[in-house]
Homo-oligomer: A and B are copies of this chain.
Amino acid sequence: MAELLTKQMQNVLIIEDQHLMRTILVDELKTALTTCFVQGAANISQAIDMLETSQFDLVIIDPGLPGFDPRSQADRIAVVQMIVERSPNAIHFVITGSDTDEEWRAFQKLGVSAYLAKNFIRPGSMIEVLDDFANDGQSVRFSDEAPSPPEFVYSGLTPREQEIVNWMRQRPAGKSRREIYDELGHRFDIDADSAEKYYKRARAKLLKTGILPKGL
């Protein structure tokens, strides 16, 4: 299912006024869809411009745009409606900082297929959302307060090392490192030996600079 989708959704538009959020959403979409072409707009006039010059398969909207009152329900709905009307052939997702049940129902009436709390989306979860949509025709993620493990980034580590360290830090008390290596090997489709190697190298780097989180 999802594979089919990723083939269809080649042209994506993301409408979001916060630059960093837009940047990372563009990035998330880029990784969620194998080959694609993602564009971003920071305000509604830019968005409308782009909708007029290009065809999009998927449009992601944050209704809290400059020039509109983010607290006014009417304004938020107006923004979404304007976009939806100008891209009748696209699928529409809404991403919002403060989600409510009523708002989702209102957007649903406008033809919106997914309603996602910013609070919920985490790195990599756009894949699940697209999967949901492929299976059910919609995807809803309300705000989520489930604790996620604290981040931890040291500028000297390579991406792989970071990843492995982050997994190792969440090791439950009873588990041996070996078991984690095996898990990681399976998860990333590499040798458990390699996972071990990366962990050791990362650990060595952290030790040398004096920064070593308590979980070793």
**CB pair B150 A41 closer than 8 Å:** yes
**CB pair B30 A24 closer than 8 Å:** no
Residue A26 at the B interface, CB < 8 A? yes
**CB pair B151 A209 closer than 8 Å:** no
Residue A27 at the B interface, CB < 8 A? yes
Which B residues are in CB contact (< 8 Å) with A152? 38-40
Chain B residue nearest in CB terms to A13: B150
Residues A107-132 near B (CB distance < 8 A): 118-123
Residue A203 at the B interface, CB < 8 A? no
Contacting A151 at CB < 8 Å: which of B40, B53, B143? B40
Q: How many copies does the complex hold?
A: 2
**CB pair B43 A145 closer than 8 Å:** yes
Q: A42-B147, A150-B39 are in contact. Are A19 and B156 (CB under 8 A)?
A: no
Which B residues are in CB contact (< 8 Å) with A36? 154-155
**CB pair B42 A70 closer than 8 Å:** no
How many A residues face the partner with a CB closer than 8 A? 57
A13-51: contact bitstring with B at CB < 8 Å (1 yes, 0 no)?
010011111111111101001111111111100100010
**A77, B143: Cα distance in complex, Å:** 22
Q: A27-B153, A33-B155, A155-B35 are in contact. Are A148 and B42 (CB under 8 A)?
A: yes
Residue A97 at the B interface, CB < 8 A? yes
Contacting A145 at CB < 8 Å: which of B26, B34, B66, B98? B66
CB distance from A123 to the nearest CB of B (A): 6
**CB pair A26 B151 closer than 8 Å:** yes
**CB pair A121 B20 closer than 8 Å:** yes
Which B residues are in CB contact (< 8 Å) with A211? 10-11, 37
**CB pair A122 B20 closer than 8 Å:** yes
**CB pair A123 B23 closer than 8 Å:** yes
Contacting A214 at CB < 8 Å: which of B41, B53, B120? B53
Which B residues are in CB contact (< 8 Å) with A120? 19
Q: A123-B19, A147-B43, A148-B19 are in contact. Are A30 and B66 (CB under 8 A)?
A: no
